[in-house]
Amino acid sequence: MKKKKIIIVGGGFAGIQLARNLDKTLFDVLLIDKINHHQFQPLFYQVATSQIEPSNISFPFRHIFKNEKNVQIRLAEVINIDAVNNKINTTIGDFDYDYLVIAIGCKTNFFGNNDICQHSFTLKTTYDAIKIRNHILQTFENIISAKGDERESLLNLVIVGAGPTGVELAGAFAEIKKNILPKDYPRIDFTKFTITLVEGTKNTLNNMSDQAKITSRKYLGQMGVKILDETFVTGYDGNVLKLNNGDEINAKTVIWAAGVIGNTLHGLSENSLTFGNRLKVNRINKVVSTKNIFAIGDIAYMETPKYPKGHPQLANVAVNQGKNLAKNFKRISQGKTPLDYEYKDLGAMATVGKNKAVVDLPFMTFKGYFAWLLWMFLHLMLILSTRNKLLIFINWAWVYITKDSSLRLILTQNSTVCDAKK
Protein backbone atom coordinates (compact mmCIF):
# COMPACT_ATOMS: atom_id res chain seq x y z
CA MET A 1 0.00 0.00 0.00
CA LYS A 2 1.32 3.41 -0.98
CA LYS A 3 2.11 5.69 1.94
CA LYS A 4 -0.09 8.72 2.50
CA LYS A 5 1.67 12.08 2.51
CA ILE A 6 1.08 14.34 5.51
CA ILE A 7 2.29 17.94 5.53
CA ILE A 8 2.69 19.51 8.98
CA VAL A 9 3.02 23.29 9.04
CA GLY A 10 4.69 24.33 12.30
CA GLY A 11 7.22 22.60 14.55
CA GLY A 12 5.94 23.60 17.98
CA PHE A 13 4.80 21.21 20.69
CA ALA A 14 1.83 19.94 18.64
CA GLY A 15 3.62 19.55 15.31
CA ILE A 16 6.64 17.80 16.83
CA GLN A 17 4.52 15.30 18.76
CA LEU A 18 2.44 14.48 15.69
CA ALA A 19 5.52 13.92 13.51
CA ARG A 20 7.21 11.74 16.15
CA ASN A 21 4.15 9.54 16.73
CA LEU A 22 2.92 8.93 13.19
CA ASP A 23 3.23 5.33 11.96
CA LYS A 24 6.36 5.22 9.80
CA THR A 25 5.03 2.37 7.69
CA LEU A 26 1.87 4.24 6.72
CA PHE A 27 2.88 7.88 6.31
CA ASP A 28 5.52 10.10 4.76
CA VAL A 29 5.84 13.42 6.56
CA LEU A 30 6.91 16.85 5.35
CA LEU A 31 7.49 19.29 8.23
CA ILE A 32 7.55 22.94 7.15
CA ASP A 33 8.55 25.83 9.39
CA LYS A 34 9.94 29.36 9.02
CA ILE A 35 12.75 28.55 11.44
CA ASN A 36 14.94 25.46 11.62
CA HIS A 37 14.36 24.51 15.25
CA HIS A 38 11.81 23.62 17.90
CA GLN A 39 11.61 26.17 20.73
CA PHE A 40 10.83 25.40 24.37
CA GLN A 41 8.72 28.44 25.13
CA PRO A 42 8.20 27.92 28.90
CA LEU A 43 11.85 28.80 29.53
CA PHE A 44 12.21 31.78 27.20
CA TYR A 45 12.13 34.10 30.20
CA GLN A 46 15.26 32.43 31.60
CA VAL A 47 17.12 33.13 28.37
CA ALA A 48 15.91 36.74 28.48
CA THR A 49 17.26 37.14 32.02
CA SER A 50 20.66 35.48 31.30
CA GLN A 51 19.97 32.34 33.34
CA ILE A 52 20.30 29.69 30.61
CA GLU A 53 21.78 29.52 27.13
CA PRO A 54 19.44 29.75 24.10
CA SER A 55 20.90 26.51 22.71
CA ASN A 56 19.69 24.62 25.78
CA ILE A 57 16.04 25.13 24.84
CA SER A 58 16.26 25.21 21.04
CA PHE A 59 16.38 21.95 19.09
CA PRO A 60 17.16 21.77 15.34
CA PHE A 61 14.49 19.80 13.49
CA ARG A 62 17.08 17.91 11.46
CA HIS A 63 18.68 16.69 14.67
CA ILE A 64 15.35 15.69 16.23
CA PHE A 65 14.40 13.62 13.17
CA LYS A 66 17.85 12.46 12.08
CA ASN A 67 16.83 8.80 12.48
CA GLU A 68 13.32 9.19 11.04
CA LYS A 69 13.58 8.23 7.36
CA ASN A 70 9.93 9.09 6.71
CA VAL A 71 10.28 12.73 7.85
CA GLN A 72 11.55 15.50 5.59
CA ILE A 73 12.24 19.07 6.71
CA ARG A 74 11.76 22.22 4.67
CA LEU A 75 12.63 25.72 5.83
CA ALA A 76 9.95 27.88 4.22
CA GLU A 77 6.88 30.01 4.77
CA VAL A 78 3.46 28.89 3.57
CA ILE A 79 1.88 31.52 1.34
CA ASN A 80 -1.45 29.91 0.49
CA ILE A 81 -3.49 26.74 0.88
CA ASP A 82 -5.07 25.37 -2.30
CA ALA A 83 -7.63 23.08 -0.68
CA VAL A 84 -9.33 22.19 -3.98
CA ASN A 85 -6.14 20.69 -5.42
CA ASN A 86 -4.68 19.44 -2.09
CA LYS A 87 -1.67 21.68 -2.46
CA ILE A 88 0.16 24.37 -0.53
CA ASN A 89 2.13 27.23 -2.04
CA THR A 90 5.31 28.16 -0.20
CA THR A 91 8.28 30.48 -0.61
CA ILE A 92 10.29 27.56 -2.04
CA GLY A 93 7.63 25.99 -4.25
CA ASP A 94 4.42 23.97 -4.18
CA PHE A 95 3.80 20.72 -2.30
CA ASP A 96 0.98 18.19 -2.62
CA TYR A 97 -0.59 16.44 0.33
CA ASP A 98 -3.09 13.77 1.27
CA TYR A 99 -3.55 15.37 4.69
CA LEU A 100 -2.57 18.87 5.79
CA VAL A 101 -2.02 19.64 9.47
CA ILE A 102 -1.83 23.27 10.61
CA ALA A 103 0.15 23.72 13.82
CA ILE A 104 1.29 27.32 13.43
CA GLY A 105 0.45 28.49 16.95
CA CYS A 106 -0.05 32.09 17.99
CA LYS A 107 1.72 35.42 17.95
CA THR A 108 1.64 38.42 20.28
CA ASN A 109 -1.61 40.37 20.27
CA PHE A 110 -1.13 44.15 20.37
CA PHE A 111 -4.88 44.77 20.02
CA GLY A 112 -4.36 46.95 16.97
CA ASN A 113 -1.87 49.37 18.55
CA ASN A 114 0.96 49.63 16.01
CA ASP A 115 3.04 52.02 18.14
CA ILE A 116 3.23 49.47 20.95
CA CYS A 117 4.05 46.77 18.41
CA GLN A 118 6.87 48.86 16.97
CA HIS A 119 8.53 49.95 20.21
CA SER A 120 8.01 47.15 22.75
CA PHE A 121 9.65 43.75 23.13
CA THR A 122 7.85 40.42 22.85
CA LEU A 123 8.74 36.96 24.09
CA LYS A 124 7.45 34.43 21.57
CA THR A 125 10.71 33.09 20.08
CA THR A 126 14.27 32.27 21.08
CA TYR A 127 15.35 35.27 19.05
CA ASP A 128 12.99 37.50 21.06
CA ALA A 129 14.58 36.23 24.28
CA ILE A 130 18.08 36.98 22.98
CA LYS A 131 16.99 40.49 21.92
CA ILE A 132 15.67 41.19 25.43
CA ARG A 133 18.87 39.87 27.01
CA ASN A 134 21.04 42.03 24.75
CA HIS A 135 18.88 45.09 25.37
CA ILE A 136 18.81 44.72 29.15
CA LEU A 137 22.58 44.30 29.41
CA GLN A 138 23.22 47.18 27.00
CA THR A 139 20.81 49.30 29.03
CA PHE A 140 22.97 48.97 32.13
CA GLU A 141 26.06 49.81 30.14
CA ASN A 142 24.24 52.97 29.01
CA ILE A 143 23.07 53.85 32.54
CA ILE A 144 26.65 54.31 33.69
CA SER A 145 27.10 57.40 31.51
CA ALA A 146 23.47 58.58 31.26
CA LYS A 147 22.25 61.79 32.90
CA GLY A 148 18.95 63.10 34.28
CA ASP A 149 15.73 62.08 32.55
CA GLU A 150 17.49 59.63 30.26
CA ARG A 151 18.93 57.81 33.26
CA GLU A 152 15.48 57.64 34.87
CA SER A 153 13.88 56.09 31.78
CA LEU A 154 16.71 53.56 31.49
CA LEU A 155 16.12 52.52 35.11
CA ASN A 156 12.43 51.75 34.47
CA LEU A 157 11.46 48.31 33.17
CA VAL A 158 7.78 47.68 32.46
CA ILE A 159 6.17 44.31 31.78
CA VAL A 160 2.61 44.39 30.44
CA GLY A 161 0.47 41.37 31.28
CA ALA A 162 0.50 39.40 34.54
CA GLY A 163 -0.11 35.92 33.20
CA PRO A 164 2.57 33.23 33.70
CA THR A 165 5.01 34.87 31.26
CA GLY A 166 4.72 38.31 32.83
CA VAL A 167 4.91 37.02 36.40
CA GLU A 168 7.90 34.78 35.70
CA LEU A 169 9.72 37.57 33.87
CA ALA A 170 9.07 40.06 36.66
CA GLY A 171 10.29 37.61 39.31
CA ALA A 172 13.41 36.71 37.33
CA PHE A 173 14.34 40.35 36.75
CA ALA A 174 13.79 41.07 40.45
CA GLU A 175 16.21 38.30 41.35
CA ILE A 176 18.99 39.39 39.00
CA LYS A 177 18.44 42.97 40.22
CA LYS A 178 19.19 41.79 43.75
CA ASN A 179 21.82 39.09 43.28
CA ILE A 180 23.63 39.49 39.96
CA LEU A 181 23.58 42.93 38.34
CA PRO A 182 25.00 44.81 41.37
CA LYS A 183 28.14 42.66 41.12
CA ASP A 184 28.63 43.63 37.47
CA TYR A 185 27.68 47.29 37.90
CA PRO A 186 28.76 48.37 41.41
CA ARG A 187 28.48 52.08 40.52
CA ILE A 188 24.75 51.85 39.75
CA ASP A 189 22.23 52.41 42.55
CA PHE A 190 19.88 49.47 42.00
CA THR A 191 17.38 50.74 44.54
CA LYS A 192 16.33 53.09 41.74
CA PHE A 193 15.87 50.27 39.21
CA THR A 194 12.09 49.84 39.07
CA ILE A 195 10.28 46.79 37.75
CA THR A 196 6.61 47.51 37.06
CA LEU A 197 4.01 44.89 36.16
CA VAL A 198 0.88 46.27 34.44
CA GLU A 199 -2.26 44.11 34.43
CA GLY A 200 -5.76 44.84 33.17
CA THR A 201 -7.55 42.60 35.70
CA LYS A 202 -7.54 42.66 39.49
CA ASN A 203 -5.09 39.78 39.84
CA THR A 204 -1.80 38.30 38.81
CA LEU A 205 -2.15 34.79 37.31
CA ASN A 206 -5.82 35.52 36.73
CA ASN A 207 -6.55 32.05 35.25
CA MET A 208 -5.24 30.16 38.28
CA SER A 209 -6.68 29.52 41.75
CA ASP A 210 -7.36 32.25 44.31
CA GLN A 211 -4.39 31.02 46.36
CA ALA A 212 -2.12 31.26 43.32
CA LYS A 213 -3.34 34.79 42.61
CA ILE A 214 -2.82 35.95 46.20
CA THR A 215 0.51 34.16 46.66
CA SER A 216 2.07 35.29 43.38
CA ARG A 217 1.16 38.89 44.13
CA LYS A 218 2.60 38.57 47.63
CA TYR A 219 5.86 37.07 46.32
CA LEU A 220 6.26 39.80 43.70
CA GLY A 221 5.60 42.50 46.29
CA GLN A 222 8.22 41.04 48.62
CA MET A 223 10.69 41.05 45.72
CA GLY A 224 10.12 44.74 45.05
CA VAL A 225 7.99 44.50 41.90
CA LYS A 226 5.47 47.33 41.54
CA ILE A 227 2.06 46.04 40.39
CA LEU A 228 -0.51 48.23 38.62
CA ASP A 229 -3.74 46.24 38.45
CA GLU A 230 -6.94 47.14 36.58
CA THR A 231 -4.74 49.31 34.39
CA PHE A 232 -4.41 49.33 30.60
CA VAL A 233 -1.69 50.63 28.32
CA THR A 234 -2.99 53.08 25.72
CA GLY A 235 0.25 53.95 23.95
CA TYR A 236 4.04 53.72 23.88
CA ASP A 237 6.49 55.62 21.68
CA GLY A 238 9.72 54.04 22.87
CA ASN A 239 10.16 56.58 25.66
CA VAL A 240 6.83 57.21 27.37
CA LEU A 241 4.27 54.56 28.30
CA LYS A 242 0.73 55.96 28.57
CA LEU A 243 -1.90 54.39 30.81
CA ASN A 244 -5.69 54.61 30.71
CA ASN A 245 -5.80 56.43 34.06
CA GLY A 246 -3.80 59.31 32.61
CA ASP A 247 -0.50 58.34 34.24
CA GLU A 248 2.73 58.07 32.24
CA ILE A 249 5.91 56.07 32.83
CA ASN A 250 9.23 57.10 31.31
CA ALA A 251 10.73 53.78 30.24
CA LYS A 252 13.19 52.60 27.62
CA THR A 253 12.21 48.96 28.19
CA VAL A 254 8.67 47.66 27.78
CA ILE A 255 8.01 43.94 27.38
CA TRP A 256 4.55 43.08 26.05
CA ALA A 257 3.08 39.84 27.42
CA ALA A 258 -0.58 40.84 27.39
CA GLY A 259 -2.16 38.35 25.03
CA VAL A 260 -1.93 36.23 21.90
CA ILE A 261 -3.72 35.90 18.59
CA GLY A 262 -3.55 33.07 16.09
CA ASN A 263 -1.15 33.17 13.17
CA THR A 264 -2.91 33.18 9.81
CA LEU A 265 -2.73 31.23 6.56
CA HIS A 266 -4.44 32.30 3.34
CA GLY A 267 -6.77 29.97 1.49
CA LEU A 268 -9.12 28.77 4.22
CA SER A 269 -12.79 29.70 4.33
CA GLU A 270 -13.91 32.48 6.66
CA ASN A 271 -16.32 29.92 8.13
CA SER A 272 -13.35 28.07 9.62
CA LEU A 273 -12.14 31.07 11.64
CA THR A 274 -13.34 32.11 15.07
CA PHE A 275 -12.30 34.74 17.62
CA GLY A 276 -8.59 35.19 18.19
CA ASN A 277 -7.91 33.97 14.61
CA ARG A 278 -8.19 30.37 15.80
CA LEU A 279 -9.40 27.59 13.48
CA LYS A 280 -12.63 25.82 14.38
CA VAL A 281 -12.11 22.07 14.50
CA ASN A 282 -14.27 19.07 15.33
CA ARG A 283 -13.48 16.48 17.99
CA ILE A 284 -10.78 14.82 15.85
CA ASN A 285 -9.15 18.20 15.05
CA LYS A 286 -10.43 18.39 11.47
CA VAL A 287 -10.99 22.00 10.38
CA VAL A 288 -14.68 22.68 9.73
CA SER A 289 -15.72 22.99 6.07
CA THR A 290 -12.71 20.94 4.93
CA LYS A 291 -12.25 17.26 4.07
CA ASN A 292 -8.60 16.60 4.84
CA ILE A 293 -7.21 19.65 6.67
CA PHE A 294 -6.55 19.46 10.41
CA ALA A 295 -5.40 21.94 13.06
CA ILE A 296 -3.75 21.20 16.41
CA GLY A 297 -2.28 23.14 19.29
CA ASP A 298 -2.91 26.80 20.13
CA ILE A 299 -4.36 27.57 16.69
CA ALA A 300 -7.14 24.97 17.11
CA TYR A 301 -10.48 25.89 18.68
CA MET A 302 -12.43 22.81 19.78
CA GLU A 303 -15.64 22.92 21.79
CA THR A 304 -16.26 19.91 24.03
CA PRO A 305 -18.62 19.16 26.95
CA LYS A 306 -15.82 19.89 29.43
CA TYR A 307 -14.57 22.95 27.50
CA PRO A 308 -17.55 24.57 25.76
CA LYS A 309 -15.46 27.70 25.11
CA GLY A 310 -12.44 25.85 23.76
CA HIS A 311 -9.39 24.33 25.38
CA PRO A 312 -6.78 26.46 27.15
CA GLN A 313 -3.76 27.31 25.01
CA LEU A 314 -1.29 25.19 26.94
CA ALA A 315 1.65 22.97 25.98
CA ASN A 316 -0.08 19.88 27.39
CA VAL A 317 -3.11 20.43 25.16
CA ALA A 318 -0.87 20.79 22.10
CA VAL A 319 1.21 17.71 22.96
CA ASN A 320 -1.82 15.48 23.51
CA GLN A 321 -3.67 16.72 20.44
CA GLY A 322 -0.61 15.83 18.38
CA LYS A 323 -0.47 12.33 19.87
CA ASN A 324 -4.21 11.78 19.46
CA LEU A 325 -4.18 12.89 15.82
CA ALA A 326 -1.29 10.49 15.10
CA LYS A 327 -3.44 7.63 16.44
CA ASN A 328 -6.43 8.83 14.43
CA PHE A 329 -4.54 8.97 11.15
CA LYS A 330 -3.64 5.32 11.66
CA ARG A 331 -7.23 4.44 12.58
CA ILE A 332 -8.53 6.27 9.50
CA SER A 333 -6.08 4.37 7.27
CA GLN A 334 -7.34 1.10 8.80
CA GLY A 335 -11.00 2.00 8.34
CA LYS A 336 -11.60 2.42 12.07
CA THR A 337 -13.56 5.15 13.83
CA PRO A 338 -11.32 8.04 15.00
CA LEU A 339 -11.07 8.85 18.71
CA ASP A 340 -12.56 12.11 19.97
CA TYR A 341 -10.11 14.35 21.78
CA GLU A 342 -10.69 15.68 25.27
CA TYR A 343 -8.19 17.41 27.51
CA LYS A 344 -7.61 16.02 30.96
CA ASP A 345 -6.74 18.97 33.13
CA LEU A 346 -3.43 18.24 34.83
CA GLY A 347 -3.27 21.62 36.54
CA ALA A 348 -1.22 24.78 36.12
CA MET A 349 1.91 26.23 37.65
CA ALA A 350 4.13 29.28 37.64
CA THR A 351 7.40 30.19 39.30
CA VAL A 352 8.10 33.63 40.70
CA GLY A 353 11.67 33.11 41.85
CA LYS A 354 14.03 30.93 43.86
CA ASN A 355 11.96 28.73 46.21
CA LYS A 356 8.85 30.63 45.14
CA ALA A 357 6.23 28.97 42.94
CA VAL A 358 2.51 28.22 42.85
CA VAL A 359 0.98 24.95 41.67
CA ASP A 360 -2.67 24.16 41.00
CA LEU A 361 -3.41 20.44 40.72
CA PRO A 362 -6.91 19.01 40.16
CA PHE A 363 -7.00 17.78 43.76
CA MET A 364 -4.93 20.37 45.62
CA THR A 365 -3.14 23.73 45.49
CA PHE A 366 0.21 24.49 47.10
CA LYS A 367 3.02 27.01 47.06
CA GLY A 368 6.62 27.68 48.10
CA TYR A 369 9.69 25.47 47.99
CA PHE A 370 8.04 22.16 47.06
CA ALA A 371 5.97 23.87 44.38
CA TRP A 372 9.21 25.30 42.99
CA LEU A 373 10.86 21.86 42.99
CA LEU A 374 7.86 20.35 41.17
CA TRP A 375 7.93 23.17 38.63
CA MET A 376 11.63 22.52 37.93
CA PHE A 377 11.21 18.74 37.69
CA LEU A 378 8.25 18.85 35.28
CA HIS A 379 9.90 21.41 33.02
CA LEU A 380 13.08 19.34 32.90
CA MET A 381 11.04 16.30 31.88
CA LEU A 382 9.47 18.22 28.99
CA ILE A 383 12.88 19.16 27.53
CA LEU A 384 13.48 17.05 24.43
CA SER A 385 16.99 15.69 24.92
CA THR A 386 18.71 14.03 27.88
CA ARG A 387 21.81 16.12 27.24
CA ASN A 388 19.88 19.37 27.52
CA LYS A 389 18.06 18.16 30.62
CA LEU A 390 21.44 17.60 32.26
CA LEU A 391 22.89 20.93 31.11
CA ILE A 392 19.91 22.91 32.40
CA PHE A 393 19.90 21.02 35.70
CA ILE A 394 23.62 21.73 36.23
CA ASN A 395 23.10 25.39 35.36
CA TRP A 396 20.14 25.71 37.73
CA ALA A 397 22.11 24.05 40.51
CA TRP A 398 25.07 26.39 39.94
CA VAL A 399 22.87 29.49 39.99
CA TYR A 400 21.06 28.23 43.09
CA ILE A 401 24.32 27.74 45.01
CA THR A 402 26.29 30.76 43.79
CA LYS A 403 23.43 33.18 42.99
CA ASP A 404 25.31 33.95 39.80
CA SER A 405 25.70 32.88 36.18
CA SER A 406 28.27 33.63 33.51
CA LEU A 407 25.89 34.06 30.57
CA ARG A 408 25.71 37.84 30.41
CA LEU A 409 27.01 38.27 26.87
CA ILE A 410 25.83 41.13 24.67
CA LEU A 411 25.63 39.54 21.23
CA THR A 412 25.15 42.23 18.61
CA GLN A 413 26.39 42.66 15.08
CA ASN A 414 29.23 45.13 14.61
CA SER A 415 29.31 47.07 11.36
CA THR A 416 32.13 46.11 9.04
CA VAL A 417 34.34 48.83 7.61
CA CYS A 418 35.97 47.75 4.36
CA ASP A 419 39.32 49.24 3.44
CA ALA A 420 39.63 49.08 -0.33
CA LYS A 421 43.10 50.61 -0.41
CA LYS A 422 45.97 48.47 -1.55
Domain co-membership, 123 together with 248: yes
- The CATH number covering residue 27 comes to 3.50.50.60
**Cβ pair 298, 262 in contact under 8 A:** yes
> For the segment 257-313, what is each residue's pLDDT rounded down to a tens digit?
998 999 999 999 989 999 899 999 999 999 999 999 999 999 999 999 999 999 999
Which whole number is the average pLDDT over 37-62?
Answer: 92
Q: What's the whole-number average pLDDT of the chain? A: 93
d(CA 231, CA 206): 14
Out of 287, 306, 333, pick the residue that ends a domain.
333
Residue 406: the pLDDT is 61
Q: What is the dihedral of CA 199, 203, 207, 210, to 10 degrees?
A: 170
Which pTM value belongs to this model? 0.92
Which whole number is the average pLDDT over 356-381?
Answer: 93
Q: Which residues constitute the domain of residue 234?
A: 114-258
d(CA 169, CA 263): 24
Which residues have a Cβ under 8 Å from the Cβ of 78 and sit 6 or more positions away? 9, 32, 88, 89, 90, 265
Residue 359 belongs to a domain: no
Residue 243 belongs to a domain: yes
β 4-9/365-367 pair status: unpaired
- The CATH number covering residue 189 comes to 3.50.50.100
Residue 398 belongs to a domain: no
Out of 333, 352, 370, pick the residue that ends a domain.
333
Domain co-membership, 155 together with 22: no
Residue 193 belongs to a domain: yes
- Kindly tell me if the per-residue pLDDT of 148 is higher than 90: no
When divided into structural domains, the chain yields a total of 2
Out of 210, 236, 258, pick the residue that ends a domain.
258
Residue 402 belongs to a domain: no
Domain co-membership, 253 together with 120: yes
Domain co-membership, 141 together with 254: yes
Residue 43 belongs to a domain: no
Q: How confident is the model at residue 420 (pLDDT cuts 50, 70, 90)?
A: low
The H-or-E segment that residue 280 falls in is strand 279-280
